[in-house]
Homo-oligomer: A and B are copies of this chain.
Amino acid sequence: MSSKAPKRIFLTEDEMPKQWYNVRADMKNKPAAMLNPGTLKPITAEELEHVFCSELVKQELDDTTQYFDIPEEVQNFYKIFRPSPLIRAYELEKALDTPAKIYYKFEGNNTSGSHKLNSAGAQVYYAKKQGLTSLTTETGAGQWGTALAMACEHYGMDLTVYMVKCSFEQKAYRKAIIETFGANIIASPSNTTNVGRQILAKFPNTTGSLGCAISEAVEKAVSTDNCRYVLGSVLNQVLLHQTIIGEESKIQLEKVGDYPDVVIGCAGGGSNLGGIISPFMRDRLTGEKNPRFIAVEPISCPSLSRGKFAYDFCDTGHVTPLAKMYTLGAEFMPSPSHAGGLRYHGMSPILSQLYHDGYIDEARAVLQTKVFEAANFFAKTETILPAPESSHAISVAIDEALRCKEEGKSETILFNLTGTGYFDMTAYMSYRDNTMSDIIPTDDDLQAGFASLPII
């Protein structure tokens, strides 16, 4: 060993966690039950199994089992791209001249370009095991669509991806890579579903949203034989799979004798934030340690910081179960931004409950231009080109490191670098030529969204 901790902290395959952690088991206030959109009663496993495959329904509804074994086949899939490195941001620390120690978990280190592959690999495995032949999903920035296409290719499963229209149009190359992995890709809203046609009739110029793409994918799944719908975020099952991120990070930090004072993640639907904070949240819920947690969201779509904690639909077309979560209303249409993965009106029910109960200390909404300033600074120092979504976390990590500098504190900061920005060069160019805008929703905009909340 060098006297100095290494830049990149790896794990061997054998050190890779073999279980996912279910944070709900340790929460005093469990996330509220999902409701059937028709009856408004708690949804049953049987009802959910029309939409999701059976094993995933079990994971979705299980509030008590603390750990789930990762099936061996999924472990083998993980080995293609995991364990992922934990990186000490020596170069960034030096450039900021901060006494803080900054670590980032680099989840973009695979062709899908993000952490999404963790849940894709699990969900497709269970679907295959159940004998399904095809899946549907939605994708915003395209990271989830790519990951799922890769997993479907791996396990041999057909896939139709509804891609939010503004991403579909901005990201021809992202579309091409999803097609390279064999998926069928459709711009949403589309005329391939009833809900898509209705939305198009009402808002012919819409650039789409995750909520709307979800409705289409669900409708397609339930109307196709031997097909189910899979989702890349928000759901409890997804957060469960993503805990591999935090579990690995914790072991890696132990290797260099460290523990985070603050853990930071960007928050769209909550998948990566839930994934990285979970094992540290366990320490906090059990009273063992007291790390702080910060959720970072785009100022254009501030679900946690300006949303309501209420039952809402997960999709625009109201075909999904209702979840109790921080939400801007399923009809809130966030302005187009370059962080397509964060343009979601709601938030994971688990994270919403934790935030509501004060376990997530802070939700910070940041300006797009500030995010790209951070992205460029990070690229130049750490030589990794971050995705716009991930750069939200970077921006706050930098702010926290500068706070440490001001306060003369040597805190340990951990953030999740969820993805790479290779398919976001349009955004980088728009930042460089000063055509990038910051659109902050007005109170009226928010009220319009809240007006769509169901009365329960």
Interface residues of A (CB under 8 A from B): 1-2, 6-8, 10, 12-14, 79-81, 91, 109-113, 150, 153-154, 172-173, 176-177, 179-182, 376, 379-380, 382-385, 420, 422-423, 425-426, 428-429, 432
Contact = CB atoms under 8 A, between A and B. Distances in A.
Given A111-B383, A384-B111, A176 B429 contact: yes
Interface centre among A180, A379, A382 (most CB of B within 10 A): A180
Nearest to A13: B6
A56 B12 CA distance: 38
Given A2-B14, A172-B425, A173-B422, 16 more contacts: A1-B12, A1-B14, A7-B79, A10-B10, A80-B91, A80-B382, A80-B383, A91-B154, A109-B109, A110-B383, A176-B425, A176-B429, A179-B432, A180-B379, A181-B380, A420-B422
A418 to B, nearest CB: 15
Contacts of A14: 1-2
Nearest to A429: B176
Given A111-B379, A380-B182, A383-B110, A8 B79 contact: yes
A145 to B, nearest CB: 14
Contacts of A385: 111, 177, 180
A297 to B, nearest CB: 25
Contacts of A181: 379-380
B7 A428 contact: no
Contacts of A79: 6-8
A64 to B, nearest CB: 32
Contacts of A423: 422
Contacts of A425: 172-173, 176-177
A13 to B, nearest CB: 5
A233 to B, nearest CB: 21
Contacts of A150: 383
A428 B176 CA distance: 8
A383 B81 contact: yes
A152 to B, nearest CB: 10
A403 to B, nearest CB: 26
B380 A153 contact: yes
Contacts of A182: 380
Nearest to A385: B111
A215 to B, nearest CB: 29
Contacts of A10: 10, 12
Contacts of A153: 380
